[in-house]
Amino acid sequence: MLTYFVVQSYEKTAKGALAAATPIQVQDEQHAMRLAEKLSQTNAGVIAFSRSGDPASGEYEDARVLCSYGSLPVLEVDTAIAC
Which residues neighbour 62 within 8 Å (Cβ) at sequence distance 6 or greater?
51, 77, 79, 80
- pLDDT tens-digit readout, 15-32: 999 999 999 999 999 999
pTM for the whole structure: 0.85
* 15: Cα within 13 Å, side-chain hemisphere: 2
- pLDDT tens-digit readout, 38-73: 999 999 999 999 999 999 999 999 999 999 999 998
